[in-house]
A and B are shown apart, each in its own frame.
Chain A
Amino acid sequence: MSADPELGAIILGLAEPGKAKLDDERARRQAAAAVALALLPEPTAAAANATGLEHRIISRAREARAPALRRRLRPNTARRIALLLLVAGALTAAAVFAWLAFEPRDPISGQALPLSEDGQTGVLLPRYEQRSFALIFWGLPEPQDDEVWQLWLVRESGKVTPGPTFTPNNEGRAAVPLNPNTLESQDAPIGFAVSLDIPANRDTETPDREAIRYQFPLN
Chain B
Amino acid sequence: MTPSAAPLLSRLRAGDEDALRELCRSLAPQAHALAQRIAGAHAAEAVVEEVLLLIWREPQRWGAETLQLEALRCVRDVSLAVRQRGISAASALAQWQHPPVAPRADALSVDRESAERVRAALFTLSDAQRDLLEAAWFEGVEPGSAALTEALTEALDALAEAIGAQP
Contacts and interface: CB of A to CB of B under 8 A. Distances in A.
Interface of A: 1, 4-15, 17, 22-23, 25-45, 47-50, 53-54, 56-58, 60-62, 64-69, 118-119, 141, 144, 147, 196, 210, 213
Given A66-B59, A144-B10, 18 more contacts: A5-B149, A5-B150, A8-B155, A12-B137, A12-B152, A14-B142, A29-B104, A31-B104, A32-B105, A33-B156, A33-B160, A33-B163, A37-B134, A40-B115, A40-B119, A42-B33, A57-B53, A67-B58
A66 B8 CA distance: 13
A141 B69 contact: no
20 contacts: A1-B154, A4-B153, A6-B150, A7-B153, A9-B149, A12-B137, A28-B102, A29-B104, A29-B107, A33-B160, A34-B73, A41-B37, A49-B45, A50-B25, A53-B32, A57-B24, A62-B17, A64-B53, A64-B56, A66-B59
B101 A23 contact: yes
A141 to B, nearest CB: 5
Interface in B151-167: 152-157, 159-160, 163-164
Interface residues of B, number: 77
B152 A66 contact: no
B52 A57 contact: yes
Contact of A41 (B36, B57, B136): B36
B164 to A, nearest CB: 7
Contact of B163 (A36, A44, A69, A196): A36
Nearest to B143: A9
Given A15-B143, A43-B32, A31 B103 contact: yes
Contacts of A33: 107, 156-157, 159-160, 163
Given A14-B136, A39-B118, A50-B29, A68 B13 contact: yes
B12 A36 contact: no
Interface string B1-28: 0000001001111111100110011001
A199 to B, nearest CB: 14
